[in-house]
């Protein structure tokens, strides 16, 4: 007797990423797992009284996306405090959003713009000036973080953090000053971002109950974009070296003696068979770290121990081979989509063509997973990352990669699903829509496989299923949506700008359902502005415990 399905999705274009059955019309789900995929007639044989049947009406379905490097916990705790500029097409719009939020923000709270944007996405192709921040928010503290390299504070924020003529520059950072020695509001990271993060930490925090609300809002936003799981990049740091991706500064040299310190840590991890990860941007740093790993491996074989590098933008073919020989993987993020212009300025157009060399990693059969490194630098939007991999362009439209380093759409998608599963040791458990794997899947607003490359950036979910349960629904599927979560506090930026910028609501969305509910797909409150000029120009512009579990954790992220 066949298993009875609790949920059936049918009449869709279901891309399973299961090589034995790559395309299906329907999928049956029970007990949080895939029962079967196939034709409508075959899958309906799993239906019984009480089975929920959803007509996909031809929509494209993919496995749930899995971010292998996301600061989910940190991002969630702060999400309701942050005004997001991801995808905003013009600086004029960004400043209007900031002014509106400053007018709504009560004292002593700040307006924070923390990551996920680049000046090259704006029609104006520039950053805001300090004068513009002061004009937009004369009385409310404003903190704007730009990538890894700088932060802009208005006068009210300088006063709030207490930076004055007498404040010394901290180690590894610069407080930019005018001719009289007074801070201007510009903070520069040299060589790392500690000055930026330490300053941000001076701002007010949400109480615990509102941090919970903020985290749930962030998770709902990730579900809206098709994320069904993530590996938290982890705050459980046991070793740190100053290899930091700020392409406005020269490559930092790791300190002498780094190898001895790292060796002690790695020996301990390998002896106890603890999986580990190490963040490294530059090949020079990776080479020295691999020297340590190979030395330890000669005494205590890694022998299948799960470990990997994060980032690895400039890794060479030789070091990719060394990673493979030690059984490691490489978790790649779309940071170059936001910093590509700066990389070209420092290292040249030829060097950027294979930074990072994702196609070469795949050719050498090294495990590769995709992620974002959100939220302080890059955007958490996986479709921005998929656009970057497929088109080879930055969010500002600059072409970086030649044909040899751009990925076919199906390959890029697989790295965001089955590829990322390797990094939490869940290969074979999720990432494909195959019998026995977790029932994590996404119904898309557009067909990822056929839309123009530029349209990939605008794809979102209209139905997200995690562990066999609907966690997000919009448009035609709105009746299936879980109860909305009111945004708290009421002045939160998320009330009016719920997450990543949306150029227009889906045609079938119920616009009247907007208000303060984060699961909307409608207007974010700024679309009354004249965005069309910039958009059309040639300038590139439920079960909470199960839910937490599916989203992953940092238990192996040392």
281 and 249 in one domain?
yes
Amino acid 251: pLDDT: 56
Where would I find the H helices in 492-538?
493-496, 532-536
Domain-located, residue 557: no
CATH assignment at residue 535? 2.30.40.10
Where would I find the H helices in 333-484?
336-347, 349-352, 358-363, 382-391, 409-414, 420-421, 453-456
Amino acid 550: pLDDT: 29
DSSP 418: I
343 and 283 in one domain?
yes
Separation between Cα atoms, residue 554 and residue 43, nearest integer Å: 37
Q: Please return the burial class of 275, using the count of CB atoms within 10 Å of its CB with bins 0-12, 13-18 and 19+.
A: middle
Q: Please return the burial class of 435, using the count of CB atoms within 10 Å of its CB with bins 0-12, 13-18 and 19+.
A: middle
Annotate 311-357 with DSSP letters as a single string: E-TT--HHHHHHHHHTT-EEEEESTHHHHHHHHHHHH-HHHHTTSS-
Domain-located, residue 465: yes
CATH assignment at residue 114? 3.10.310.70
Total tally of structural domains belonging to the chain = 3
Averages of pLDDT over each 10 residues, the chain, 558 residues? 90 97 98 98 98 99 98 96 97 98 98 96 98 98 96 98 96 94 96 90 98 98 98 65 50 78 96 94 94 98 96 97 99 96 94 97 98 93 98 98 96 98 97 98 99 98 99 98 97 94 52 30 32 34 30 27
Domain-located, residue 195: yes
Amino acid 252: pLDDT: 62
420 and 312 in one domain?
yes
Q: Please return the burial class of 15, using the count of CB atoms within 10 Å of its CB with bins 0-12, 13-18 and 19+.
A: buried
Domain-located, residue 76: yes
Cβ 12 vs Cβ 56: under 8 Å: yes
How far is residue 425 from each of residues 70, 243, 352, measured CA to CA in Å? 17, 26, 31
Residue 151 phi/psi, 5° resolution? Answer: -140, 150
Q: For residue 298, what are the domain limits? A: 213-428
Domain edge (last residue) among 406, 428, 450 = 428
User: If we measure between CA atoms, which residue out of 277, 195, 274, 280 comes closest to residue 232?
Assistant: 277
Cβ 102 vs Cβ 142: under 8 Å: yes
DSSP 481: P
359 and 224 in one domain?
yes
CATH assignment at residue 274? 3.20.20.140
Which secondary structure element, helix H or strand E, spans residue 102, and what is its range?
helix 91-104
Domain-located, residue 433: no
Separation between Cα atoms, residue 407 and residue 391, nearest integer Å: 8
């Amino acid at each position: 007797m066949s298993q009875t399905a609790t949920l059936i999705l049918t009449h869709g274009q279901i891309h399973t990423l299961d090589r034995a059955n790559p395309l299906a019309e329907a999928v049956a789900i029970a007990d949080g797992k895939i029962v079967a995929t196939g034709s409508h007639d075959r899958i309906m044989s799993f239906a019984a009284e009480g089975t929920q049947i959803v007509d996909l009406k031809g929509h494209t379905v993919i496995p749930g996306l899995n971010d292998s490097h996301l600061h989910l916990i940190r991002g969630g705790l702060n999400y309701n405090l942050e005004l997001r500029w991801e995808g905003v097409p013009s600086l004029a719009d960004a400043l209007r959003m900031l002014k509106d939020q400053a007018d709504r923000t009560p004292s002593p709270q700040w307006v924070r713009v923390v990551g996920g944007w680049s000046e090259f996405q704006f029609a104006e192709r520039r950053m805001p000036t300090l004068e513009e921040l002061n004009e937009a928010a004369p009385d409310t503290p404003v903190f704007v973080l730009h990538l890894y390299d700088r932060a802009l504070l208005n006068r009210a924020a300088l006063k709030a953090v207490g930076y004055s003529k007498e404040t010394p520059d901290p180690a590894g950072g610069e407080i930019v000053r005018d001719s009289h020695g007074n801070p201007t509001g510009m903070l520069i990271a040299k060589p790392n971002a500690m000055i930026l993060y330490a300053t941000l930490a001076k701002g007010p925090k949400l109480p615990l109950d509102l941090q919970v609300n903020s985290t749930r809002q962030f998770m709902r936003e990730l579900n809206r974009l098709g994320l069904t799981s993530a590996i938290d990049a982890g705050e459980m740091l046991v070793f740190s070296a100053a290899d930091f991706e700020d392409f406005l500064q020269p490559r930092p040299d790791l300190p002498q003696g780094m190898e001895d310190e790292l060796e002690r840590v790695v020996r301990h991890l390998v002896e106890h068979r603890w999986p580990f990860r190490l963040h490294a941007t530059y090949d020079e740093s990776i080479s020295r770290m691999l020297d340590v790993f190979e030395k330890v491996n000669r005494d205590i074989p890694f022998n299948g121990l799960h470990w990997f590098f994060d980032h690895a933008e400039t890794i060479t073919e030789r070091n990719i081979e060394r990673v493979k020989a030690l059984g490691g993987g490489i978790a790649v993020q779309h940071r170059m989509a936001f910093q590509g212009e700066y990389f070209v300025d420092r290292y040249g157009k030829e060097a950027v063509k294979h930074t990072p060399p994702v196609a070469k990693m795949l050719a050498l059969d090294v495990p590769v997973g995709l992620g974002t490194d959100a939220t302080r630098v890059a955007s958490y939007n996986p479709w921005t990352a998929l656009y970057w991999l497929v088109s080879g362009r930055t969010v500002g439209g600059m072409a970086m990669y030649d044909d040899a380093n751009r990925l076919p759409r199906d390959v890029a998608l697989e790295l965001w699903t089955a590829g990322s599963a390797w990094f939490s040791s869940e290969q074979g458990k999720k990432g494909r829509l195959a019998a026995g794997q977790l029932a994590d899947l996404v119904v898309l607003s557009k067909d990822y496989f056929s839309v123009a490359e530029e349209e990939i950036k605008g794809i979102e979910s209209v139905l997200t299923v995690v562990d066999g349960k609907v966690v997000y629904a919009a448009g035609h599927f709105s009746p299936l949506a879980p109860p909305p979560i009111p945004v708290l506090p009421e002045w939160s930026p998320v009330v009016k700008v719920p997450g990543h910028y949306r150029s227009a609501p889906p045609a079938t969305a119920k616009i009247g359902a907007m208000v303060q509910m984060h699961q909307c797909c409608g207007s974010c409150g700024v679309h009354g502005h004249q965005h069309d000029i910039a958009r059309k120009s040639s300038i590139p512009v439920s079960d909470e415990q199960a839910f937490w579990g599916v989203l992953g954790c940092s238990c192996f992220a040392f």
